[in-house]
Structure 1
Amino acid sequence: MFEHLKDQPADKILALMQAFKDDPREDKIDLGVGVYKDAQGHTPIMRAIKAAEKQLWETEETKSYTGLAGDPAFADRMIELILGDAVERGAVAAVATPGGTGAVRQGFDLVRLANPGAKVFVSDPTWPNHLSILKHMGLPVVPYRYFDSETGGVDFDGMVEDLKHAEKGDIVLLHGCCHNPTGANLTMSQWQEVADLVNKQGAVPMIDIAYQGFGDGLEEDAAGTRLIAAHCPETIIAASCSKNFGIYRERTGLLMAVAHEAGRQKTNQGNLAYLNRQNYSFPPDHGARLVLMVLGDDALRADWQAELEEVRTGMLRLRERLAGELRELSGSDRFGFLAQHRGMFSRLGCAPDKVEALREKHGIYMVGDSRMNIAGLNDETVPKLARAIIDVGI
């Protein structure tokens, strides 16, 4: 049987990680891996998470299963964090998942279960794993224009024009905030226009929100998701706790199905639990338990929000400094978009040969499409990156 298997294409980001490790230069810079790093290049455990783990170690009495959907209290807290009072709790079905990736995969599974003929409209570009999962599942993908390489912003006119081709029951995949890989976000008026257009076409929005709190703040970053969930009859939401709680390896996520039609939540909840059973039965609980403890304790929550704000403002400061350095070196504001982007990532919008030149000449590693992780920078490396960008002619 195994002789029929074929080698799978190497993951570009994993290959980039290995190339970085193999580079002997001491002044090399890693801007490829999509994890938050502090100024020392370390991905820390957040203070509130560490405190919750200590409490859990002292008080946990069992490692038994929670349930197919995970602990309902975890879902309640996450729904409150993401949706606020935008929709009634009774309209939301939810299950815990192994990370945001697990939520995305389960969301696509729900789509296939509900409407096997659905096409999935995906931003160009998007997180590569979106496309990989959809290809593996055999779901048809339709790209829609999103990033304007000339301006570094959103090509909203192109986006709207492309989404007009969505049909009833199709899925429009959106990034809730801090778009990966570009860092370019929709304005609230644009979110409203997307909601109106999706409703007009009869399509269903699916939102991947993985960076809440990394952009403009917890409430601000959830505003677009809340608007969509409130204005559209049905919404699918895949959420990740990896970044904003710093629990990457705990694989903690949540999948939500929002439906305003009376009585729909019970059926949706049953189908989400069914999909969990088919894929991994009971979701992991450790990370979810820590998130629940942090969100449910006033002191822990306040400390978590304070540290998250430090992370957010630190990345904004790096963005502003990089844009400033490039402004001084180039004599223009053509890199000003870097200060306007939000989240961990920005996309320079340059050709792959320029990215390769950055690696070969300066030891600066970023994904071939020019996506760079702003959190991989610090005060010492920002000027070096700016000089390298100008040197290779970006």
Structure 2
Amino acid sequence: MFENVKAIPGDALLALMMAFKKDPTPTKIDLGVGVYKDDQGLTPILPVVKKAEALILEHEQSKGYIGPAGAPELAVLLQTLMLGDDHPLTKTSCISTAQTPGGTGALRVAGDLVNALNPKAKIWVSDPTWSNHFHVFAGAGVEVRTYPYYDAQANALAFERMLEEIRQIPAGDVILLHASCHNPTGIDPTLEQWQQISQAVADQGLLPLIDCAYQGFGDGLEEDVQGLRLILEKCPEALITTSCSKNFGLYNERIGALSIVASTPEHCSNVFSQACNCIRANYSNPPAHGAAIVSTILSDTELRQQWIQELAEMRSRIHRMRANLVQNLEQLSSDRDFSFITAQKGMFSYSGLSKAEVKYLKDEYAIYAVDSGRINIAGINDGNIDRLSQAIFKAINR
């Protein structure tokens, strides 16, 4: 069976990560891998997570299965985090949430669910989007298509083209929307644009699949889900995928969730049972530890406030690095305008750097970024920003 199997190319981002690790240059800079880093260039364990783990270690009594849907207490806590304490959905049993292995696991269950409910449905994703969206949905047997999102000339949202394309998508198809901190561009719609997007999605009879991977990393916990809430005002049915990797720093604990929104409790219960069936056929039960950490933090008033503060500090550092990078490049008298970077949200930025300029940065300065020019702002710190700015200046003026 294995004799004639051929190797396939690995993921380009993972290959970039491996190349960075092997590079012996002491001043190398990693702007590729999409994880948060602090001023020392490390992906830290939040102090509040350490506190929660100490409590779990002290009180944990079992390592038994937690069931396909995961921890029920986590479901309620994540729902209120996204929607607020008094959202009507949480009072009417029209939302159900299943814990999953990370946001990626949630996306895969969503793909399996779409395929189970309507095998003819296609999932439409933004152009560009997180590259793994294509692999995950293709693995679930769902056809993936794209709609316009990025205007390369203006370094901005291609809003009119996006809206025009949404109005052409066949009814019954699924449209994936990034709740905030769009990956990879960092460009989010305004609230007014979200109003128009949500109305177009509703008018067209599409099922919104909202990827909420970065809540709290843009403008704030409440601000980053305003678009999501507008969608739910217009659309009676939706799927929402959640990740706790970034805002809790729990990358390797693989904790996420899939939420199902329906127009009636009965419909919600029926679809949720189908989702649990998809889970059972895939990984059977999600891991418990990450869920316990998040539940412990969100259910304790003191820990929750500490987490909110630590999240705000991460967000503030990213904002500061954005502003400092743009200021540095302006002071170098570059002919290219980089001011748009400060308007972008979250960790990522479509920097406007060309593939050739990215290659120059890597070859000459050991600065690693994605070929598209997407950079991880969290990879910039006070110790490397001057070198990075000088390198970018030389790359675009050589």
TM-score range, shorter chain: over 0.9
Residues 130-170 of structure 1 show CA distances to partners (whole Å, capped at 9, x for unaligned) of: 01222333322221111122222111011111112211110
Residue 218 of structure 2 is matched in structure 1 by 215
Alignment of 1:226 with 2:236, yes or no, is no
Contact 2:108/2:140 (<8 A) preserved: no
The 8 Å contact of residues 321 and 377 in structure 2, kept in 1 or not, is answered as: yes
Partners in 2 of 1:24 and 1:289 — Cα distance? Answer: 39
- 1:152 & 1:267 partners in 2: Cα distance? 43
- Deviation of the 1:383 alpha carbon: 2.0
Where does 1:284-295 land on structure 2 (aligned, <5 Å)?
A: 284-295=287-298
Any stretches of 5+ residues in structure 2 without a counterpart? Answer: none
How far apart in 1 are the matches of 2:265 and 2:14?
Answer: 45
Q: Matched residues in 1 for 2:88 and 2:353: separation?
A: 41
CA contact (8 A) 1:86 1:226 kept: no
2:121 equivalent to 1:118: yes
- 1:106 maps to 109
Q: For 1:88 and 1:14, how far apart are their aligned partners in 2?
A: 39
Q: Cα deviation per residue 1:315-340 (whole Å; 9 max; x = unaligned)?
A: 00000111111122235671011111
Matched, 1:30 2:30: yes
Deviation at 1:116, TM superposition (A): 0.7
- Structure 1 residues 18 and 102: alpha-carbon distance in aligned structure 2, compared to 1, 3 A threshold: same
Aligned residues: 394
Question: Is the contact between residue 86 and residue 229 of structure 1 (CA under 8 Å) also seen in structure 2?
Answer: no
Q: Which residue of 2 aligns with 1:70?
A: 70
Q: How does the TM-score come out when normalised to structure 1?
A: 0.97
1:155 counterpart residue number: 158
- Give CA-to-partner distance per residue, 1:268-295, whole Å, 9 cap, x none: 2211211111111111111011100100
Matched letter for residue 373 of structure 2: S
What is the rounded CA distance, in whole Å, between the counterparts of 1:330 and 1:271 in structure 2? 58
Corresponding residue for residue 394 of structure 2? 391
In the other structure, the counterpart of 2:2 is 2
CA contact (8 A) 1:87 1:230 kept: no
- What residue is the counterpart of 1:275 in the other structure? 278
CA contact (8 A) 2:115 2:141 kept: no
Aligned CA RMSD, in angstroms, stands at: 1.3
- Counterpart Cα distance in 2 of 1:149 and 1:389: 18
**Residues 1:242 and 2:245 aligned together:** yes
Other-structure match for 1:12: 12
Q: What is the alpha-carbon distance in structure 1 between the residues aligned to residue 150 and residue 269 of structure 2?
A: 38
Q: Which runs of 4+ in 1 moved over 4 A?
A: none
Q: Percent identity?
A: 46
Asked whether the 8 Å contact 1:100–1:240 carries over to 2, the reply is yes
Amino acid at match of 1:125: P
Please tell me whether the aligned partners of residues 358 and 388 of structure 1 are also in contact (alpha carbons under 8 angstroms): yes
SS in 2 for 1:307: helix
Structure 2 SS opposite 1:142 = strand
Which one is further off, 118-127 or 17-26? 17-26
